[in-house]
Amino acid sequence: MTTPALAAAAAERAQHIRQRADRPSQRRSAEQAGARAAVRAALSGVQVRESGDGGGTLEFLGHASVYERAYEMWDMFGPYTEIVSEGAGGDSLARADLDVPLVLGHDQLRRMARTTTGTLFLVEDATGLSVRAPALDPADHDVAYIAPKLKAGLIDEMSFAFRIESGQWSPDYTEYRINRYDIHRGDVAIVGYGANPATTATMRQPAAAAPATSRARALLEIALAR
C-alpha cells in the first residue's frame, strides 16, 4: 500500500534522480539522518543445538538477508521499499579472498568467526544469504554473551553490511531493487531490531560438553539449560 509519505517521497525522487539505475542517496534503515544503512532481517526459529564436533563448541546457523522480500528503507527524500534480488551476492561470495566476519551489532571488534579463518561460511540458498559458523568457542566473551539471549528469544534478528554495485528504481520511484551487492570487507551481524522480518538462525551446543570452569562457560551453560 502506498502511503502519503511514500508517495510524496517518490514524487520528489522522480524530480531529482537522473536515471533509475542511480543508487539511493543518503540510504539508511531509519528516518533519522545518520542511521545505519545495513539491511536487517528478523530471525525465526532460534535454537541452541549441538555442533556435533564433540569439542564443546557451538554452531550458529542463520540467514542475514531474505531475498525477494520487501522492507522499508529511507533516502534523502523519504521512505521507499527495498528488495534484494535472488542471486544478488553471487559474484561477491565467489571471491577467493572473501573477507567477512560474524559480529555483534556491526561492531567490528566483536568478531566471533571470519571467512578468512575458515570459521564462517556464506552461501546463497533458496531463502537468501545463508550464514554458518560451525565451531564457535563458548569461552569467547561475545559468544557467551549472545548465546543465552538467542536461546531465550531476547535477540532474534540478523543484518548484513554491504556495498550496492547495481540496482534500479521502479518506474514510480517507490521501490529500489538491489541486483548486485559486494559484501567483501562488510559483515554479517546479530542485531536487536530489523526492517526485514524473515530470516532464521540456529546455535547449538554439544550435549556432553565438559563442566564449565570459566565464568564465560558458566554463564553460557546456565542460560542454555533446558
- What's the pLDDT tens digit per position in 91-101? 999 999 999 99
What's the CA gap between 6 and 70, in Å, rounded? Answer: 14
Scanning the structure block, which residue is given the C-alpha cell 566476519? Answer: 101
- pLDDT at position 39 is 78
C-alpha atoms less than 13 angstroms from C-alpha of 114 in its C-beta half-sphere:
11
Q: Which of 146-150, 173-177, 203-207 has the lowest mean pLDDT?
A: 203-207
- The pTM of this model reads 0.82
Query: How far, CA to CA in Å, does 118 sit from each of 34, 71, 122?
Result: 34, 32, 11
3-state SS of 3-41? CHHHHHHHHHHHHHCCCCCCCCCCCECCCCCCCCCCEEE
Domain locations in the chain as residue ranges: 4-221
State the amino acid at position 24 in one-letter form.
P
Cell numbers given for 77: 527524500
What does pLDDT average to over the chain? Answer: 84
- What's the pLDDT tens digit per position in 19-75? 999 999 999 988 888 888 877 776 554 455 656 666 689 999 889 999 999 999 999
Task: Identify the burial level of 222 via C-beta atoms within 10 angstroms of its C-beta, where 0-12 means exposed, 13-18 middle and 19 or more buried.
Answer: exposed
pLDDT at position 215 over 70: no
| Percent of the chain whose pLDDT exceeds 90 | 65
Cβ 60 vs Cβ 136: under 8 Å:
yes
